[in-house]
Amino acid sequence: MASITRHAPINLDEFTLKDVLISENELGYGSSGNVLKLEYQGLKCAGKKIYQFLGIVFEKGTQLLILVTEFLPTDLRSCLEHYGVLHDEISYSILHDVSLGLAFLHSQTPQIIHLDISSTGILLSANMTAKICDFGSAMIFEGKYQQMTFAPGSPPYMPPETLVDDPHYDASVDVFSFGALMVEMFTAKLPLPEIARARKDPAGILIVISEVERRQNLLNKIGDKHPLMDLITSCLSNNPD
């Protein structure tokens, strides 16, 4: 289905490849699909090639198009609020699914950065397979420490480099968010920092508080002997590298 420039009211028709000329020019691309330059009956158009979906249907009595996608009954936040900390086998499986998704995004050339990883953006299937959604903040990353917008995602999951007046950051933002997500997985609580970002010592010198220390009470609930503690604290490092 092509998206038609509205020069005049038109009726939506079922197109075939014979009707639409597809150029080799890509107008844009992202995690969900590519936008291609098309031509239909002499009109310049854009069409989206979607990577994964089940099909399309027109709403009865109208020409409104409905994309039919997989039904995912809940999100991770709702699951944790209802059940509390999940069994280790389920928790590890969910985190593995999310890590595979992020690894795929970050392995693209150029990279795709999600910028809004959180428990509400992780949808779960009936068999607890996790899938990343909420790509509204996602962006194509062109270079090291690119200048960005201020704190693009949910604050509990955002690293300190996104919370400054002139933020510059890269795909490590998603890594930090993944660390915060692990904290939430193993405590069933939002990974909110409980300590201010800085404090003054007795001499009045400002001391920057690490993100690990700011969440120490939550980390204590997980315990130092947890097999993923080293990974959690590494992801939550103040150093993006």
Residues catalogued as catalytic:
116
Provide the token pair at 192: 């909110």
Contacts of 194-203 with CB under 8 Å at 24 or more apart are: 194/218, 197/160, 197/163
Closest CA to 232 of 212, 208, 210: 212
What is the b/e burial string over 176-196, where b = at least 16 CB atoms within 10 angstroms of the residue's CB? bbbbbbbbbbbbbbbbebeee
Per-residue CA distances from 214 to 162, 194, 209 (Å) = 16, 6, 7
Helix axes 172-187, 76-83, angle to 10 degrees: 20
Q: Helices 172-187 and 88-106, interaxial angle, to 10°? A: 170
Q: What is the DSSP string of 92-132?
A: HHHHHHHHHHHHHHHTSSSEEE-----GGGEEE-TT--EEE
